């Protein structure tokens, strides 16, 4: 029972816009290097993943445009809200990402941020941008599924 409690993930934030704007493929779980005030702000839920992306540079993976607001009870110590943050991945995962990102149109998108065993983790997905007609098709499919479920429910 204690092991089950430790493995549970507590969602901090979800990047719903990423699912709308991109076709998501492989997802990797990565640790993230944060400062003390950033971790406290994350515990308060002051994180925004919208418009953020990942980039592989010199064999390391970094996240850009992740907005972590200031901690409410900060003193003199504070952090920059939008800064480059390093992701912690295994070398073989980084090599796999390099191979896919070099492919035309593939990018790294953070999908969600959560706590796992007291550590902040980020789920990063390889993604390809959707075109306008792909977005319309996704919305059309979602509405059709919703209508079908409603029809079955009322029968």
Whether 55 shows a pLDDT value over 80: the answer reads yes
- The rounded Cα 118 to chain-centroid distance in angstroms is 17
From 48, 46, 147, 61, select the one nearest 107 (Cα to Cα): 61
- What confidence score (pLDDT) does residue 87 get? 92
Residue predicted with more confidence, 127 or 104? 127
Whether 16 shows a pLDDT value over 60: the answer reads yes
Instruction: Tell me the residue length of the chain.
Output: 155
Rounded to whole angstroms, how far apart are CA atoms 61 and 35? 17
- What confidence score (pLDDT) does residue 3 get? 54
Contact partners, residue 4, CB within 8 Å, separation at least 6: none
Q: DSSP state, 85?
A: E
- What confidence score (pLDDT) does residue 71 get? 77
Residue predicted with more confidence, 74 or 6? 74
Provide the greatest CA pair distance for the chain.
63
Whether 2 shows a pLDDT value over 70: the answer reads no
From 8, 74, 11, 66, select the one nearest 41 (Cα to Cα): 74
Q: What is the pLDDT of residues 35-51, one digit of tens each?
A: 888 888 888 888 888 88
Q: Please indicate, yes or no, whether the overall pTM of this predicted structure exceeds 0.85.
A: no
Domains detected in the chain = 2-129 (2.40.280.10)
């Amino acid at each position: 029972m204690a092991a089950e409690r430790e493995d549970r993930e507590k969602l901090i934030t979800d990047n719903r816009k990423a699912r709308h704007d991109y076709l998501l493929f492989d997802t990797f779980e990565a640790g993230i290097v944060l400062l003390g005030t950033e971790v406290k702000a994350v515990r308060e839920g002051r994180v925004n993943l919208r418009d953020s992306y990942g980039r592989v540079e010199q064999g390391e993976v970094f996240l850009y445009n992740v907005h972590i607001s200031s901690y409410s009870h900060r003193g003199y110590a504070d952090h920059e809200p939008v800064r480059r943050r390093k992701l912690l991945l295994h070398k073989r995962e980084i090599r796999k990402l390099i191979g896919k990102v070099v492919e035309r149109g593939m990018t790294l998108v953070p999908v969600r941020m959560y706590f796992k065993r007291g550590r902040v983790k980020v789920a990063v997905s390889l993604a390809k941008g959707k075109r306008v007609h792909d977005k319309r098709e996704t919305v059309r499919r979602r509405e059709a599924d919703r209508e079908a479920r409603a029809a079955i429910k009322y029968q």
